[in-house]
Amino acid sequence: MRKVLLSALLAGILLSGFAQGGGTSIDGIVAVIGKSVILRSDLEKHFNDYKMQFKTIEDPDEVYCTILENLVYNKLMVNQAELDSIEVSDEEVDYRLNTRIQYFLQQTGGDVKYIENYFNKSMADIKKEMREMMYEQALIEQVQAGVTGSITITPSEVHQFASKISPDSMPIVSTTYQFGEIVKIPPVSDEEIASVKEQLTSYRERVLRGERFGALARLYSDDPGSASKGGDLGFVERGTLYPEFEAAAFNLKTGEISQVVKTQAGYHIIQLIERRGESIHVAHILIQPKPSTDEQVRAITYLDSVRKVILDEKLTLEEAAKKFSEGPTRLNGGMVVNPYNNSLSFDRQSLDEATFTTINKLIPGEFSECVPFVNDDGVMAYRIIYLKEKVLEHKANLVEDYDMIKNAALEQKKYDAMEKWVLDKVKVTNIKISEQYKYCPFVTKWQIP
């Protein structure tokens, strides 16, 4: 999205325009950092993006300064990366680019046209322009890692950091929970699996006879995220789906429907709508085999007996999980990890309604009765939930929130290190800012001439 002019000679010529123009950059240059330049069009584009997002801007000058500071900072990082001969592989850039595009597609339900209309460019042009941004981002992260990667923080520094924050300024921490589970997954019979395959095969044949794939997906698919959209998953990049699903989908021709495919989530038939290089637009119908009523009763009975053993023998969660539980949490001592922050703490927003209802009735150290749930692969299962810890809403403090405050202190220390690094680099880097923006606070803070 950013146009970069790397000619040092041309940059030098344009710089003279700053001095002569009385604050007007006649050639559209607002800053020069080493061999790189920031164009007025870059600044305006970022400003317009900000305005579209926040609608009302009380102080446009402040926004322009903040944007320009970020742009100058990034160019300073890239300039240093070039001096240090830092390299980024094409594979890493491709991964970052595909991840970003995939995010856009997820936000728009796979609507490529919406994205193209928003940027007023074809998807190919969007990727081409974003590629440079992804490349620069990778360079910047490597430079930052070189400056802050080895920084650590001591307990005394954490306490010193906290002491400088007034009690009134301490953030409010929502009620959080740490919990574990003992899981039993009822087995699915061979007859049920055969029935599911037969159902999907019949749906495939109905589509081949002229029925609409989307209509059948809305009626029969067990995927709640796509069923209402006729099974449409939108555009997805290679490497984002189950391997078995991808292997089948990428071998289809446009409009073709796969045979029945098995993944961790269940059984699928897949329709290829469109393919663009390593990106495919697909729809699917998913059916998840269900355990019989008898198997579900056995699972409940099993966990009821397990709960009695735990209470009678006073087993710890870790001991009980190792002995009785199924599923990935068994390897984590039974504790459930929050996928949103990779920690053991959950707040209300990161819990589904059924889980919250169960753990909110428990006291720390208590095991729940057996409750049904659907695991991460969409499989029906049962579990006993153990509440390890419940911390009520409160103002942050060093006793209950030491890790949170420690992370904030560490980030501040890294920020200070980067600020010092910038001040040192500004002194030895050719940086010029248009007179029009010399009023910006960062120009004085960084002592830019």
| Tens of pLDDT, residues 178-211 | 999 999 999 999 999 999 999 999 999 999 999 9
pLDDT at res. 8 = 26
pLDDT at position 136 over 70: yes
pLDDT for res 109: 61
Q: What is the full DSSP assignment across 318-369?
A: HHHHHHH--SGGGGGTTBPPBTTTTBS-EEGGGS-HHHHHHHTT--TTPBPP
Comparison of pLDDT for 245 and 54, the residue scoring more:
245
**Model pLDDT, residue 373:** 92
* Radius of gyration from C-alpha coordinates of the chain: 28
pLDDT of residue 120: 82
Q: What would the DSSP string read from start to end of 194-228?
A: HHHHHHHHHHHHHHHTT--HHHHHHHH---TTTGG
pLDDT of residue 26: 41
Contact yes or no for 114/108 (Cβ under 8 A)? yes
pLDDT of the residue at 118 = 77
Cβ-Cβ contacts under 8 Å for 230 (sequence gap 6 or more): 212, 213, 214, 215, 217, 218, 283
One-character DSSP codes across 71-131: HHHHHHHHHHHHHTT----HHHHHHHHHHHHHHHHHHTTT-HHHHHHHHTS-HHHHHHHHH
pLDDT: is 379 or 143 the higher one?
Answer: 143
pLDDT at 258: 96
* pLDDT at residue 62, rounded to an integer: 93
- Residue-level pLDDT at 106: 66
- Model pTM greater than 0.75? no
pLDDT band of 11, cuts 50, 70, 90: very low
Average pLDDT over residues 96-118: 75
| pLDDT at residue 58 in the model | 86
User: Rounded to 5 degrees, what angle do the CA atoms 108, 110, 116 make?
Assistant: 75
Most confident of 153-157, 371-375, 400-404: 153-157
How far apart (Å, rounded) are the C-alpha atoms in residues 21 and 122? Answer: 37
pLDDT tens digit string along 350-379?
999 999 999 999 999 999 999 999 887 778
Return the higher-pLDDT residue of 238 and 427. 427
| Residue 94 confidence (pLDDT) above 90 | no
b or e along 283-313 (b: 16 or more beta carbons within 10 Å of the residue's beta carbon)?
Answer: bbbbbbbbbeeebbebbbebbeebbeebeee
Which of 6-20, 298-312, 324-338 is predicted least confidently? 6-20
Q: Which two tokens stand for residue 380?
A: 């029906």
DSSP run (H or E) holding 172? strand 172-173
User: Which is nearest to 176 in space by CA: 341, 327, 375, 333?
Assistant: 341
The span from the first CA to the last CA of the chain, in angstroms, equals 28
Q: What is the pLDDT of residue 190?
A: 93
The structure tokens 């019949």 sit at 202
Domain ranges within the chain, ordered by starting residue: 176-182+293-299+314-395
pLDDT per position as a tens digit, 203-251: 999 999 999 999 999 999 998 888 988 999 888 877 778 899 999 999 9
Question: Residue 23: what are its φ and ψ, rounded to 5°?
Answer: 95, -5
Residue 24: name the closest of 435, 439, 433 by CA.
435
pLDDT at 224: 83
pLDDT of residue 3: 27
Strands 346-347 and 279-287 come out as unpaired
Higher pLDDT, 332 or 124: 332
3-state secondary structure of 191: helix
Torsion angle (degrees, nearest 10) of CA 250, 252, 255, 261:
-90
Specify the pLDDT at position 110. 63
CATH fold for domain 176-182+293-299+314-395:
Chitinase A; domain 3 (3.10.50)
For a pLDDT cut of 90, what percent of the chain falls above it? 66
Taking the CA atoms of residue 202, residue 204, residue 205 and residue 211 in that order, the dihedral angle to the nearest 10 degrees is 110
Q: Which residues pair with 235 in a beta bridge?
A: 281
What pLDDT was estimated at residue 103? 74
Q: What is the mean pLDDT of the chain?
A: 87
Least confident of 11-15, 143-147, 368-372: 11-15
